[in-house]
Amino acid sequence: MTASPDLATALRAQAEGRLDTVPVTASVSDPLRFASVASVLPHRAPLQISPWSHEQQWSIRGEESFQGMPLIDGRTDDLAQVAKAARAWHDGAALKDIRRVAPFVHLTGRFEVPDNDPERLTESEWQGMLQEAADLETSWQETYQNLIEAAHAEPALRALYPFTSHWALRFSTTTRPDLTIVGPSLTANDDTYGVGRGFITQDLGVFATAQEAVAVAVRHLPSGLGPAALGG
C-alpha cells in the first residue's frame, strides 16, 4: 500500500479489474487513509474505506444516506476482499449478497428503506439495536440484550424510534436526523435495570427484571403518542 499514491489506487490494484468502471475516490484531505466508492442506489451513501493505524487491516462502513446509519461494516487484512465488497455495494447488490461475496462484511441488522418511510426506519433501527445487543462482547451483554428485547416486545415502545446514549436506551417521536426525545431512559446495570426521567438517571427505580423496568417506563410515557414521524 505504501507504494501507491493513495488508497483508491491501492484498492484498484488489488481489485483484479472489478473496479475498472467504478468510481473510487480518494479523500482530498488524507488520500492515503480514506477512500470511498459510490453506489448506483441513491439511498446508499458512498462506502467508506480506511486502513487501521497499527495493523495491516482495512475497515469499511456502508451507510444509508438519509440518517447516516450503517447498514454494513467490517474489517479484514485482505484488500481484495474489500474490493469485492465495494463492487457489490456499488452495483446495488442486496446486503446479504454483499456478505456472500465478501464474508468479512458484518450486517448491522438494519435494512434498506429507499422511500424513508418513518415506520420502516423505526423498525430498521430496532433491528439494528437488537443485532448490536446480540453482538456485544462485554460482561453485561446478557443484561443489555434482555433490556433491548424487553423494550422491543412492548408495543408502546416499539412504535417509538430507539436510540442509545452512553448505552442508555432512549426514545424519540421522530427518526434521525432530528430526534425528539420523549419518555424515560432505561439502563442495564450488572444484574439490575434502571428507569429514570433524565439522562442516565434511575430516579424512577431499579428493578430485578427488564420487564419490570419496561413496564414502569411505559407508565411514564406521555399520552397520545402515535408512530414515530420522519425527522428532518
When pLDDT is averaged across residues 220-231 and rounded to a whole number, the result is: 96
Taking 90 as the threshold, does the pLDDT of residue 2 lie above it?
Answer: no
142: amino acid identity, one letter: E
Residue 121 vs residues 33, 172, 193: alpha-carbon distances, Å: 32, 12, 27
Residue 216 vs residues 55, 171, 195: alpha-carbon distances, Å: 46, 14, 7
b (16+ CB within 10 A) / e for 27-63: beeebbebbbbbbebebbbbbbbbbeeeeebbebbbb
pLDDT tens digits, residue range 114-123? 999 999 999 9
The pLDDT assigned to 4 comes to 59
pLDDT tens digits, residue range 5-18? 799 999 999 999 99
- What is the rounded distance in angstroms from the CA atom of residue 190 to the CA atom of residue 178? 32
Least confident of 125-129, 194-198, 207-211: 194-198
Name residues whose C-beta falls within 8 Å of residue 165's C-beta, 6 or more positions apart in sequence. Answer: 199, 200
pLDDT tens digits, residue range 162-176? 999 999 999 999 999
pLDDT bin (cut points 50, 70, 90) of residue 55 is: confident
Q: Where are the domains of the chain?
A: 7-107, 118-219
- Work out the percent of the chain whose per-residue pLDDT is above 70: 98
When pLDDT is averaged across residues 125-140 and rounded to a whole number, the result is: 96
* Residue where the block lists cell 469499511: 60
Q: Which residues pair with 161 in a beta bridge?
A: 172
The pLDDT assigned to 1 comes to 40
- What is the rounded distance in angstroms from the CA atom of residue 192 to the CA atom of residue 21? 54
